[in-house]
A and B are shown apart, each in its own frame.
Chain A
């Protein structure tokens, strides 16, 4: 009996060992990627790198236009995606009944989330750049990214809204509040941290994407800042792609430096989103 038992526990120990090994195999490479980019890239980071226009075939100078371009694209994406995303989430959570149409919306959201980013690029090229004649422009790129971001914002916002207990809506109604008054005064304020987290996560994805902006906005080399929404712009992810694959003789440190800036922007916002989420999760009373 005892020997059988101990054999079973040996098996258990081996099993757990395999699980731990798998977890390490997942986590260590992540640490390695982030670590390598920080270590190799930190040397390239200085004031000029962050604030100057690229010079010398992008081999020297800075990446300022790419940083600004990415920020502009992200803001543009936010402006277009937030109303539709949060509005859609409010509809699904607060108004929609369980009909086949509602299910069709959910299916559409799942599929929007699954469409490859490069297909979004094709779509943006077809609709915004060519058909609507926005040209390769910040406008076209932002709208393309916004549609790509929409499913993330809708699903996370809907989840945040649904997490607010029904009773709050009932109380508001019992005090003579209309449905929308209840949403605006009670439900939305409580769901806001969750919605903000979702919006940030969506925008992060948009800001880090390359494929959707390849044919809709990105400029290979544009040593000035864009002047209007109809201008092209450089963007960090595309810039990293360009200098690491398209420009021979590019100093490796500049490549790592660019990767580091992009990674730092994305991850720091990621941390902000996580902090907002966990802070409010602890604070709320339900």
Chain B
């Protein structure tokens, strides 16, 4: 099983994670290559989202958890002492399953991160708004109402706004947690399309909301079942010629 590659963007080594004494992840080891879409897929509740949130240390917000193992970004341990966590999260952006615009306008949403990062220059900020919304394939739809409330957008637009909001920080990695679970097929198509664009510049990890989506967007895919990494293969081979029986059963729709 391929778990180690040369010069990975993210290296996950022997990561186990417990929540309230219950194991959520067991000894997961895998490397995530740069400038590609890597998918973590598998049945619900298997620990995919948890693994995602460990990378940008979002699980630090949760009490009563315990992690062992090592996760590194460009070779640097993200759990090392003295790591600037806000800085880490600016480098590793995240988009959640449900689009959640912050209260305020579209522009304010996009600029939330950059402003907290200390960006004050007006023309710089303006540039960021245009670039991020373009990259998220939302610019044409909202260019005339940047100062309108973000909550007035449709679900699909809101999710792309959330992507734009993450992109505004020019992260190196983008974590997408079932980003299309609440969207209609057309919006889903738009989001998936923008991923193809984005992977030119970003390292993307996605928890897809179906095997089909994983097969459509993933360059590499890892199958995670009940806290165990079952199989990890480069390319789309995992969907056509899985090595593990359990992967095969899941991919062919026999369970899950």
Interface of A toward B, CB cutoff 8 Å: 97-98, 167-178, 181, 185-186, 189-190, 285
Contact = CB atoms under 8 A, between A and B. Distances in A.
Contact of A172 (B56, B112, B162, B166): B112
B188 to A, nearest CB: 21
B233 interface: no
B103 A186 contact: yes
Contacts of A170: 58, 61, 96
A176 B84 CA distance: 10
Interface of A is mostly: helix
A180 to B, nearest CB: 11
Contacts of B165: 175
Contact of B58 (A174, A178, A285): A174
Interface of B: 56, 58, 61, 63, 86-87, 89-90, 93-94, 96, 98, 100, 102-103, 112-113, 116-117, 151, 162, 165-166, 169
A209 B86 CA distance: 47
B58 A175 contact: no
A167 B116 CA distance: 18
A185 B112 contact: yes
A169 B112 contact: no
Given A173-B58, A178-B86, A168 B116 contact: no
Contacts of B117: 176
Contacts of A98: 63
A175 B103 contact: no
A176 B102 contact: no
A176 B63 contact: no
Nearest to A186: B102
B113 A175 contact: yes
Given A176-B86, A177-B116, 8 more contacts: A171-B162, A173-B89, A174-B94, A175-B90, A175-B113, A176-B169, A185-B112, A285-B151
A138 to B, nearest CB: 39
A168 B100 contact: yes
Given A167-B96, A167-B98, A186-B103, A175 B61 contact: no
Contacts of A97: 63
Contact of B100 (A171, A177, A181): A171
